[in-house]
């Protein structure tokens, strides 16, 4: 893929991308995370320009599903083989890996990042992930990195028209 204007679908990891990679655990063992509110605006803008979004997370906690539901985006949680899951989603949507942007931050994301047309790593990613990224965000995961990516794709789509 030559540029972000060619992206048809954005696949995102959850922990460390949509969150700052921390988990808060209360005295009853309930886990919560913090998300960047304006990421939702960015994801909404992608819909405006016809770009689909999906979250693929190895996290089993329902917080992934709850956040994605609120944002009205598809998600698959509890998935350790992210590349197979991504390929299945793309086949259903009749899209290719080349038309895909994947945003990740850690080792479980590497296989997807190595196979998509536009691999993006958030600023505070593992060094192995940073090495394969075509772009590294200026913002850290959970601190507006998703919004940054969405705005870049939105702007590229607007220029392309």
Residue 157 scores a pLDDT above 80 = yes
Residue 38 scores a pLDDT above 90 = yes
Nearest to 109 by CA among 61, 33, 58, 149: 58
Query: Residue 132: CB partners within 8 Å, gap ≥ 6?
Result: 110, 113, 114, 119, 121
Query: Residue 34: CB partners within 8 Å, gap ≥ 6?
Result: 19, 20, 22, 24, 142
Between CA 84 and CA 65 the distance in angstroms is: 19
| Residue at token pair 């940054």 | 148
Mean of all residue pLDDT scores within the chain: 95
Write down the pLDDT at residue 120: 98
The mean pLDDT of 116-122, rounded to a whole number, is: 98
Q: Where are the domains of the chain?
A: 4-160
Distances 3 to 23, 47, 53, 80 between C-alpha atoms, Å: 34, 18, 17, 29
DSSP letter at 35 equals: B
CA atoms within 13 A on the CB side of 16: 20
Residue 12 scores a pLDDT above 80 = yes
The pLDDT tens digits for 105-117 are: 999 999 999 999 9
Write down the pLDDT at residue 2: 72
What is the pTM (predicted TM-score) of this model?
Answer: 0.96
Of 3.90.25.10, 3.40.50.10470, 3.30.300.30, 3.40.50.1000, the CATH number of 4-160 is: 3.40.50.1000
- Classify 72 as helix, strand or coil: coil
The mean pLDDT of 122-134, rounded to a whole number, is: 98
- Classify 95 as helix, strand or coil: coil
The pLDDT tens digits for 48-82 are: 999 999 999 999 999 999 999 999 999 999 999 99
Between CA 83 and CA 118 the distance in angstroms is: 14
Tokens of 77: 């949680």
Write down the pLDDT at residue 1: 65
């Amino acid at each position: 893929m030559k540029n972000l204007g060619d992206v048809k679908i954005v696949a995102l990891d959850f922990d460390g991308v949509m969150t700052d990679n921390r988990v808060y655990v209360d005295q009853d063992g309930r886990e919560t995370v913090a998300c960047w509110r304006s990421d939702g605006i960015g994801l909404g803008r992608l819909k405006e320009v016809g770009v689909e979004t999906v979250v693929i997370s190895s996290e089993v906690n329902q917080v992934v599903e709850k956040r994605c539901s609120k944002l009205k985006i598809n998600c698959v949680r509890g998935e350790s083989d992210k590349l197979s899951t991504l390929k299945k989603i793309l086949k259903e949507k009749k899209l290719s890996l080349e038309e895909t942007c994947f945003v990740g931050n850690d080792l479980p994301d590497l296989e997807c990042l190595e196979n998509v047309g536009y691999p993006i790593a958030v600023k505070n990613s593992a060094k192995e992930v940073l090495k394969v990224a075509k772009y590294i965000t200026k913002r850290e995961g959970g601190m507006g990195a998703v919004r940054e990516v969405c705005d870049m794709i939105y702007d590229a789509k607007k220029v392309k028209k």
